[in-house]
Amino acid sequence: MKHFYSHTNAPTLSTGNLVSIKRSCLYLVTIIICLSCSMLVRAQGITINPRTTLVMNGNITMVINNAPLKNNGAFTASTSTVKFSGNTDTLVSYVAGTKTTSFHNLSIIKSSYGVALKSAVWVKNVLAVTGGNLYTDSNLTLKSDAALTARVDVVPATSQIIGKASVERYIPSRRAWRLMTAPVTSSNTIYRTWQNCGVYTPGIGTLVTGPNPTGAAGNGMDQSYQNNTSLKMWNSASQAFTAVSNTYAAISPGCTGKADNAGYFVFVRGDRDPNNTNIANTNITTLSSIGSLQTGAQTFAASPKQNSYTLIGNPYASPIDFNKLALTNLVKRFYVWDPKINVLGGYVMMDDLDNDGIFTSTIAASAQTKDIQSSQAFFVETKINGGATLTFNETSKSGNNNNLVFRPLTPNTPAGSGIGQIRTNLYLPEADNTNILADGVIAEFNDIFSLQVDRDDALKFGNVNENLAIQRYTSTLAAERRPALTINDTVFFNMSRMVQRNYQFEFVVTGFQQTNLVGLLQDSYLNTSTPVSLSGSTIVNFTVDANAASSAARRFRLVFKEITTLPLTIMNVVAYEKNTDIAVEWKVENEINLWKYDVEKSIDGIIFTKAGTVNVSGTSNEYNRYSWLDVNAVQGNNFYRIKTYERSGEIRYSSIVKVAISKNDAGFNIYPNPIQGTVINLQVTNQPAGNYKVRLTNTIGQTLYTTSFKHIGGNSTQSLNTVSKLPAGIYQLEVIGQDNNHNTQKLIVE
């Protein structure tokens, strides 16, 4: 590699001299420091002159010892680190120049005195002040974009960051509410920061609207079509949000440097483009908070009332680990607003009841973790009446810059804790065959929990759009904790803000040991019961129509019933391959009180559905033999059991038998076929994960029923409910995958 210098004394890359890079004639001079090198600069420092570029090529470190950096040309940081060291004051150690100097990592490790920023400086990744002071002179910007958000590392008590800075937060293109804060003290106004002084600059600032807007000459509020409120603050006394009606107020109310920032509920449409007041428009933007950075211990006072909530803004320009905060009279639990849920966002509850550092989320698909991000606000809950505080320490900071909180949604399913757990997710199936996560709740079962509503249970925060909660007595919960499951235990769901459309439940169940129980989702509107597996995932589709009963708050409940086995009535059940079919045979003794048998089938050994009926042929205690042929055998596992109906009304089950058909071709299969009711059971075998469309047509091609379902990959069973019973006849059921492949099955209705 060649290095070109215009200075007569060429620098070395080990021990430093003066590095002065000057323009020679009209040639552009570039110095490139290679990937494997480090550089120590002493004495007079580095000067990058006009038409000159200094490139830090790769992940390297340049130490500037008792010297300045003057940038009048161009400085390319790559993923490098620049460290200022030594013991001189700011007359010697500084950053200056006519150009903005953009660092990837900037580190101040002075043994005394400090470093001054005398010209514009950007930091894109980590600002570390571990020795001496940093004097910003209002020239520091902590950048945020689609890839990175700058953070301030742990600042020891012996160091300070003095002066104002601008802290950015990148917001993706999505109209949604957000819980946010300005992580600064001695701040400028809302108008000068988040509203960009009322100026429209593409990709910067946002519109803050509300009733009676009078703009720059009045209350600072922007106009919109309906002048709806887009900025709110939390009132701890009333436990409700109140509208911000004047944006000439400081964005951080205090100026002491101690917990001066406040939390906001802000609706971000995009930048200040007036077209964004139209609900069809949105774009990316970056919000800036201007003020002094808060460092050291930051203690917030929370509501002194039991079970009350306080909105706290992360005071640091850095992610923090909630597990490392000091809680006084507060539950180890917090609520955030995830803007990627539903249409306008939704609440997610995170808690760690057993204090093991592992947090449970009410919505596993949310990107939220135990790390609260820079500029993010959250709610905490007071335990009992009395003083309550939340303290952030420098050691609470986290290096986990979770961009997903402000970026596209990525599943994040925490490991199970051994407690029986049922996650219920509510989805919005879209016409383009995608699903939008609308809301979710969690129920956990273990004898360490109480039947009563107590601190282990988490109350539900209401969303702007659809709400799904668990109802216990008079409480609506986001997380319900109760003793281990027993027969007839019931989880009562509470729905609100539902609209006329198709919906989908997903039940994700883990950690249960009760093999004698089965879950039944009971629908009071359709008067149906749908089996829910106590191991794995179950999808149930439903519709809200014009009938008010279809959107009733208590429409659904999940009931747990016992599966019993026959005592000596069915003596033997066998199943075996017979050509391409499977024969099921059973021998029975004592049929006096029996009147029919149902053959039930499953492909996972958990969820069984009726596949055929055989009437009782005997009425004595003699042996009788029965057989039934499954002409719809699937590749892979086929499970069977016999369901008996006694004349007394009692229902019993036989033991389960399995036949595995070794060849495992991919495809779809309907069983039982013919069907007699409104439910079509579609067996999905070895299909990729994704969304699938379903269309049912008659013999003349008329479409009678359409729906869609989400498949998690591999094998599953989808229960499709046509609601209205179809006339007897032959139909075509078409399944369309994401790759637009079409699979058609013949469906017979008896």
How confident is the model at residue 618, as a pLDDT? 67
How confident is the model at residue 403, as a pLDDT? 56
Condensed to tens digits (0 to 9), the pLDDT of residues 115-153 reads 999 999 999 999 999 999 999 999 999 999 999 999 999
Buried b or exposed e, range 128-153, using 16+ CB within 10 angstroms: bbebbbbbbbebbbbbbeeeebbbbe
Q: Say yes or no to pLDDT of 665 above 70.
A: no
Q: When comparing pLDDT for 672 and 564, which is higher? A: 672
| Total residues found in the chain within this entry | 750
Condensed to tens digits (0 to 9), the pLDDT of residues 271-282 reads 999 999 998 999
Q: Any idea which of 74-78, 301-305, 624-628 has the lowest mean pLDDT?
A: 624-628
Give me the phi and psi of 653, to 5 degrees please: -125, 150
Mean pLDDT, range 20-33, rounded to an integer: 44
How confident is the model at residue 16, as a pLDDT? 33
The dihedral sign for the CA sequence 65, 66, 69, 70: negative
User: Are residues 270 and 348 in contact, defined by beta-carbon separation less than 8 angstroms?
Assistant: no
Confidence band for 563, pLDDT divided at 50, 70 and 90: low
Q: Say yes or no to pLDDT of 480 above 60.
A: yes
How confident is the model at residue 603, as a pLDDT? 85
How confident is the model at residue 18, as a pLDDT? 36
Q: Say yes or no to pLDDT of 28 above 60.
A: no
Rounded distance, CA 506 to CA 515, Å?
21
How confident is the model at residue 394, as a pLDDT? 97
How confident is the model at residue 29, as a pLDDT? 56
How confident is the model at residue 36, as a pLDDT? 47
DSSP 396: G
Confidence band for 407, pLDDT divided at 50, 70 and 90: very low
Q: Which pair of tokens denotes residue 170? A: 């990148």
Confidence band for 570, pLDDT divided at 50, 70 and 90: low
Q: Which pair of tokens denotes residue 16? A: 């430093």
Of 211, 535, 179, residue with least CA distance to 336: 179
Mean pLDDT, range 43-51, rounded to an integer: 85
- Percent of the chain at pLDDT > 90 equals 61
Rounded distance, CA 242 to CA 337, Å?
17
Give the residues across from 558 on adjacent strands. 491, 521
Condensed to tens digits (0 to 9), the pLDDT of residues 522-555 reads 999 988 888 788 878 888 899 999 999 999 999 9
Mean pLDDT, range 497-514, rounded to an integer: 90
Q: Say yes or no to pLDDT of 454 above 60.
A: yes
Strands in 118-226 per DSSP E: 121-135, 140-142, 151-152, 161-162, 164-171, 176-181, 184-185
Condensed to tens digits (0 to 9), the pLDDT of residues 226-251 reads 899 999 999 999 999 999 999 999 99
Mean pLDDT, range 430-455, rounded to an integer: 92
Mean pLDDT of the chain: 87
Q: Say yes or no to pLDDT of 42 above 70.
A: no
Q: Say yes or no to pLDDT of 623 above 60.
A: yes
Q: Say yes or no to pLDDT of 255 above 60.
A: yes
How confident is the model at residue 722, as a pLDDT? 84
Q: When comparing pLDDT for 682 and 160, which is higher? A: 160
Q: What is the CA radius of gyration of the chain?
A: 33
- Helix, strand or coil for residue 53? strand
How confident is the model at residue 464, as a pLDDT? 93
Buried b or exposed e, range 306-331, using 16+ CB within 10 angstroms: eebbbbbbbbbbbbbbbbebebebbb
Q: When comparing pLDDT for 413 and 403, which is higher? A: 403
Confidence band for 19, pLDDT divided at 50, 70 and 90: very low
Q: Kindly list the distances between the CA atom of residue 452 and the CA atoms of 456, 477, 487, in Å, as whole numbers in the listed order.
A: 10, 12, 18
Torsion from C-alpha of 81, 87, 88, 93, nearest 10 degrees = 10
Q: When comparing pLDDT for 54 and 418, which is higher? A: 54
Write down the residue that tokens 């109350």 correspond to.
Answer: 459
How confident is the model at residue 244, as a pLDDT? 97
Rounded distance, CA 19 to CA 17, Å?
6
Q: Which range, 382-396, 442-456, 722-736, is most confident?
A: 382-396
The model scores a pTM over 0.85:
no
Mean pLDDT, range 458-484, rounded to an integer: 95
Write down the residue that tokens 């094998």 correspond to.
Answer: 715
